[in-house]
Every structure is written in C-alpha cells, then in structure tokens.
Amino acid sequence: MEPFMMAKNISKSFVLHNQGGVELKVLQGHDFSVASGECVVLSGSSGSGKSSLLRSLYGNYQVNQGEILVKHNDAWLDLARAEPRQILQLRRHTLGWVSQFLRVIPRLSALDIVMQPQLDVGIPHQQAETKACELLTHLNVPEHLWHLAPATFSGGEQQRVNIARGFALDYPLLLLDEPTASLDEHNANQVISLIHRAKANGAAIVGIFHDTWVRDQVADRIYPMQAAH
Amino acid sequence: MQRFNQHLATLDADLGYNFGYLDEQTKRMIRRAILKGIAIPGYQVPFGGREMPMPYGWGTGGVMLSAAVLGRDDVFKVIDQGADDTTNAVSIRQFFAKVCQIDTTTSTDAASVIQTRHRIPEQALKHGQILIYQVPIPEPLRFIEPRETETQKMHALAEYGPMQVKLYEDIVKYGYIATSYAYPVMVNQRYLMDPSPIPKFDNPKLNQSPALMLFGAGREKRIYCIPPYTEVASLDFADHPFAVQQWSEPCSLCHSTTSFLDEVLIDDQGQRMFVCSDTDYCQQQQASKQEPCHG
Amino acid sequence: MDNLAYVLPQTNPLASELPLLQAEQLSQWFAPGKGFAPLDLSLYRGEVLAIVGESGSGKTTLLKALSGRLTPQQGQVLYRHGEQAANLYQISEAQRRNIMRQDFGIVHQHPMDGLRPRISAGGNIGERLMEVGWRHYGDIRAQAKSWLSAVEIDIDRIDDLPITFSGGMAQRLQIARNLVTHPKVVFMDEPTGGLDVSVQARLLDLIRKLVSELQLAVVIVTHDLAVARLLAHRIMVMKQGEVVEAGLTDRVLDDPQHPYTQLLVSSVLQQ
C-alpha cells in the first residue's frame, strides 16, 4: 500500500539549557509510515515517546534528525524542514489533530469552534454549521451549550467539542492524541464510529489510545515503541 | 543706483523717512516674497519682517506689504471690517499719507491699493487693483496639527484630510458647518489656505477675482498670494455644501439685501439694527437711491 | 516504497506567492545593545507574526523600521502591492506616506498616541477616509458607525470624544480608526499592554476575529506569550537586538530550542 506519510530515521532530544544543559533523548531512529485508509496505533509504556512522536508528526516538536514526508498537493513536504507557513497550510488542508485538551479561545462559542477549521478553508457558513451541528449531536454535546463559550463546560464536554472540531474537516491525515481518554463507554463508541468513518473516507490515521478495547477496534497496525536511551 | 540716488533726493527732507517707511532693501526682499507667492498661489512664503511703528496684531503684516507695493501714483484705501472710519483704518491711512505722501480715498472704486482687515469690499474689484489682507494666523492646519514641521509636510504632500475632519466635527456639533470666518479654501486645486478672518460670506469673492490678493502675517512673518483669476474653492461635503450667511432683513440704512450686515445695538433696551459692514458701499447705495428723488 | 520520495517532486506549492512585506539585512543600532542586528523577515498576506522579547530587546525599534517610521541604518524593507514592490526607504516620502496611509495600520500601545483626543470618535474613524478623498458626510458617518459596531462600541457614542472612553474602548477605537481603509498590513505595539486582564481577553478575541475575517497581515510586538499563542502564526524571539529563535508559534512555545526562549516559556505561570 502506498504510504501517505513517511517518517524516516527520526530522532528527537530535548536540551534543557537552564537546567545544566541536560539532554533528554525521547525518540531515536524511528522509521514509520501510514497509508490512506489505514489506522496505525502507537503503543508503548508511559515515557516511551508516543506523544513526542505524534507531536513531531504534527510539526509541533522539531526533530533533530530524519525526514517526515507528507503528501501534500501531489508533492512530498518534509515537515522537519518545511517553512512555518507550509506547515500551517498543511495543517489547514491535510493534517488534522485531535487531542483531549481544548485550548479555549475567549468568547468563541462551541459551535464557532467546531466551524472554524471549515470556514478557514472556505467552506460556506451554512454548510459548515450543518456539519458542526451534526458532529456535536453525534458526540452528545447538549444543544443548549452550543452557543456558549466552552470555558465553563465540564472537562468531558470540552473534550467532545474539541473532538468535533478535529473531525469537522475530512483531513487526509489525522493525528489522534488519546481522544477517548476519560470518556464514558457510550461517548467513546461515538468517537470510534467517527474514526471508522474517517478511515472509510480514506484518511490515514495515527493515534495513541490508552484503552485496549478502543485500540483493538480501530487499529490496523500497532507501532510498538520503547523509551530511547 | 543712479535712479536710487535720484529717488533719495526727492524724499521730503523734513520727513526723515524713506518713501513708504521701509528701506528699499527691505521692500525688495518683500517684493521677492510676493513674487514667489504669486508664482505658487496659496503657498506661505517666509520673509524677514521688520519692526513697524505699531504693535503686532494691529496689521503689521498688511502694512509691510502695503509699504512694499505702494508707488507714487497709487491711491490708497484702508478698511477695518469694512469700515473706513475706525481707529485702525484711519491711523494706517494717515500713516501712509504721511510716509508716502500719496492720495488716499474711502472709495473702493477709486483705490488702486486697498488694505483690509477681515473683509472684502462689496463692490466688485477690478483688474489692476491690489487687495492686501492683514493675517493673524497664516496656518490653517494649526489647530489640528500644532507642529510646524508636520504642517509644512502636510502642505508639501497635499495631505488635507485633517482639515476636512474639522468641518466634520462642526456638523457633528452644530448640524451644519459652523465655521463662519477664516473658512479654509483650496487655492488653484493645490494649497490649503486660510483666507484670514474674513466672513465666509466673502469667500466666493476670492474665486476668479480680477484683483491681485496679498496676505501678510506680521507676527509669523509669512506672505501668501492669490494671483488674479485663480480658482479658490471653499472646502465642504457633498451633502453639506458650502453656503454663505444670510439675513432675514435688509440693511437698515441702504436697504441692500445683498451685502454683509453687522448687528448693532442701538439702545439699552436691547433694540438692534442691521447695517452694512462696508461703509463705502452703504453710502453709495444710499446716495444712488436718493438721486432719483432729487432729480 | 522508499522510491516514492523520488516519484513525487519535493516542491514548495507556496513558492509562487511573494511576501507582502520583506525585510533584508535590516538593522538599526542606537548604541551597543540598543536597537537590532541585521535580520531578514518575510510576512505574507493573512499572516500574523509576533515579535516577543523583554523590554529593550529592540522589538519596538524593529516595528518602527518595518512600518516606515524609522529609516534604518542598514538594509531595506520591501512592500509589495499589486505587481510592484516599493522599497520603503528609497521611494519618496510622499509615496511612503501614501502607502502608510492607505495600506498600513499602526496600533500604538497607548490609544491616545494613535487617536485625536479632541476629535469625536466618528471623526477619528473618518479621518483616514477623508484623507483618501471621501467628501460625503453621510457616507463617512455610516462607515464610522459600522466600524464602531465592528469593534463593539455602542454607535450612540459616535459623537463622544475619545478622552471620555475607557482604556479598552479607546484601544478598540484606535483599531477601528486603522482598519477603516482596509489596510493590508497592521503593526501593533503591545496593543493589550496597558489594559486590565478582563479587558485584554475581549480585545484579543476581537483582534483575532478581525484579522481572520479581513485576512490582515499583522506584525504584533508583545512580551506576553499568551497573546502570541492566541494570535500569531509565527513567532520571532528577540534578545538584546538579536533574533535568537523563530518559527511556528506552537513549535517555538512547546519545543523551545534556545536557552532564552526556554527561560521565557518556563517563566509563564501554568494555568
């Protein structure tokens, strides 16, 4: 199967300049790829670098070595060396990110938050709103909350708003950082169905899932990880 | 030089002054500034002002211009807010009668040079006449932008938006453009100019005037000019066009309905009447109306 | 599979777009440690760049040089409009002021530095319109009203003087005054600097909304990393006049490389 994204020999370490220059190696020599319609789950114990790898794939962490090639507009873009605005464009159209933590923007309503990524790529307001409403309903966010800013929502509600935002666009490549953590079984199943739907639409998915039962339902392949030394 | 010496010889020895009070070099310098001003209509030309035998604010700028342009054949008229008979007008007229020994008049028609404070005569000016204005503050942008360096730049680049803001604020406060004197004008579609504190009633007379107009600011030592037949437009808005003052009654003395009227209190009970501010015009109107009766 | 990288060309799809604003080897030193060292910088349409660093790091000087208000000792600033690129410090002052008036907006930290305190709110907004030739009172007023609502000021206050406004309102008025002629690039110097925290959030949200709706390119100077995170696509970290780190906002803040950036990030109180 033709990969949609390839990470080649990537390594990452943190140098803590203000703490005596300690170097923490978090990733070492990872080769990794994911194809369209495939879901790869990163697996390993706490501290094995799952989250760092996922963040590196999003361009949020800067790898020290290696290439991260993503297919974008029929060309390969190397995330490890791309210009910031290339990464931004990639994120706008190609690369989606869903985490459990919502970064609340003051005064923006839940509905607006979910609609934003669609509006950013020029989807008409009406269409974006329909999609947003559908996702919020699917994830059981009570309708009376839609027009409120999520700052006052419960943790679970904020998490589901953020998941809705992540799935609002059909990104060809989706990175999932424990999207089901701390959700009840019903809502976790709703998220799983969204993942299945994205896969069926041809999305390449890389994720971290804490719960084994969720992982078993979505994973096509497991990428095992161990702490770097 | 020979002409200059002859000229000196003709001076009244008893008088002790050069013709026109100022020395010839100063007059020459002022005339140069005037020529530059005429070449760039509306542009403020700096010049080296001299001490005049009167305080600033009493028309030193106008007096210096008059001194520089008056010749032996000129007939001189001075008005102060239209009147020939106020202290200021009388003393300036007498001053030049003394230091130039030229003819003076109160008739607008007969005068070749008219020095004015805050009015333009009602009677249309003629080609060949010179109107000299006394200017207290030459810079129209002063109240919007106090920095002289900045206003000069604004003139240089024709950035006159802020002046329009002042008129906008007028409409905000009063519902119409309430600026009624020193109403800003654009000269020759280029320079924004303060026409001195003439009533805006007189602004239309600036446009395409056959007479040469010279403006002198003595304290600030600036001269600016409008050559004959120059376009002078009053600023306004499309939906608040420029308009002049109007009165509900005619002049009580000459019954003119087309002149600028002053409101005069006539007793302690608050009775008032409206009379022409231009005394020469008013008298002529009265005379012309009486003539048929006498005839 | 490995060959695929060669099958598809590694091209930059954005390469054809030229930056709106471009600084090349730009530098200005007032004294050792006062000013900024030669730097290159590009700003594209719709992009928000935050310049962060402590006081005295040269941020504000850089902003002035970028926005046409300070002739630099070295280097050049190119502004592209349409097909043409204007070299800000080689064109005539008239041309430069024209660009600054029509295409640039400047939001000062203290609102009164950018407002006429004794001119009504409507007049403050309308001034730029009148500068570019608007001569219809009704139209100017209608524009002023629509911009007052855009920055969430009650339109009944259109005739009030800015000196009667609160700090947050005055700052929003300053923003409206700048945006009324639809500038392409807006330069902001600590726009939330002097405001209460509650007022800051509202203003930031407003700026965020306007920037995205109007596709503005913005250079914002701030020492507040939260402001940068909320508004900026990219960050440039300055220390003593040198750019020590630059890149994608979330990358710089979540994975800071330079010791100084690490110090800045670790100094922010966790919420």
CB contacts of B171 in chain C (<8 Å) are 137
Cβ–Cβ below 8 Å for A16 and C8: no
pLDDT of residue B3: 59
pLDDT of residue A227: 83
pLDDT of residue C177: 95
Mean pLDDT of C241-265: 94
Query: Crossing angle of helices C137-150/C167-179, nearest 10°?
Result: 130
pLDDT of residue C31: 84
CA distances from C45 to B105, C23, C78, C197 (A): 70, 15, 14, 30
Confidence class for position C194, pLDDT limits 50, 70, 90:
confident
Query: Over pLDDT 90: what percentage of chain C?
Result: 71
Positive/negative CA dihedral, C172, C176, C177, C179:
positive
Confidence class for position C5, pLDDT limits 50, 70, 90:
very low
* Residue C68 and residue C77 in contact, taking contact as beta carbons nearer than 8 Å: yes
| pLDDT beyond 70 at A154 | yes
Please give the helix or strand (H or E) that residue B115 lies within, else none. strand B113-117
Question: What's this model's pTM, rounded to 2 decimal places?
Answer: 0.86
* Residue C128 and residue C144 in contact, taking contact as beta carbons nearer than 8 Å: no
Fold designation for B2-234: Rossmann fold (3.40.50)
Active site residue B293: no
| pLDDT beyond 60 at A2 | yes
Radius of gyration in angstroms for the set of CA atoms belonging to chain A, rounded to a whole number: 18
Active site residue B251: yes
Sequence ranges of chain B with CATH classification 3.40.50.11310: 2-234
A151: Cβ contacts below 8 Å, ≥ 6 apart:
A104, A106
Residues 215 through 234 of chain C touching chain A, CB cutoff 8 Å: 230, 233-234
d(CA C138, nearest CA chain B) in Å: 7
pLDDT of residue B163: 93
Q: pLDDT by residue (tens digit) across A27-68?
A: 999 999 999 999 999 999 888 999 999 999 999 999 999 999
Residues of chain B with confidence (pLDDT) below 70? 1-15, 291-295
CB contacts of C159 in chain B (<8 Å) are 172-173
pLDDT of residue B11: 53
CB contacts of C262 in chain A (<8 Å) are 16-18
pLDDT of residue C33: 77
pLDDT of residue C129: 94
| pLDDT beyond 60 at C21 | yes
Residues 36 through 95 of chain C touching chain A, CB cutoff 8 Å: 44, 47
Q: Where are the beta strands (DSSP E) in C61-200?
A: 74-81, 84-87, 104-107, 185-189
Mean pLDDT of A63-76: 92
Please give the helix or strand (H or E) that residue B271 lies within, else none. none
| Site of tokens 């409009």 | C81
Interface ipTM above 0.90: yes
pLDDT of residue C3: 39
pLDDT of residue A96: 94
| pLDDT beyond 60 at C124 | yes
Please give the helix or strand (H or E) that residue B209 lies within, else none. none
Mean pLDDT of A14-19: 91
| pLDDT beyond 50 at C9 | no
Mean pLDDT of C43-54: 93
d(CA C113, nearest CA chain B) in Å: 14
Q: What is the DSSP letter of B83?
A: B
pLDDT of residue C14: 52
Q: pLDDT by residue (tens digit) across B200-219?
A: 999 999 999 999 999 999 99
pLDDT of residue B215: 98
| pLDDT beyond 60 at C13 | no
Mean pLDDT of C72-82: 92
Cβ–Cβ below 8 Å for C123 and B169: yes
| pLDDT beyond 50 at C233 | yes
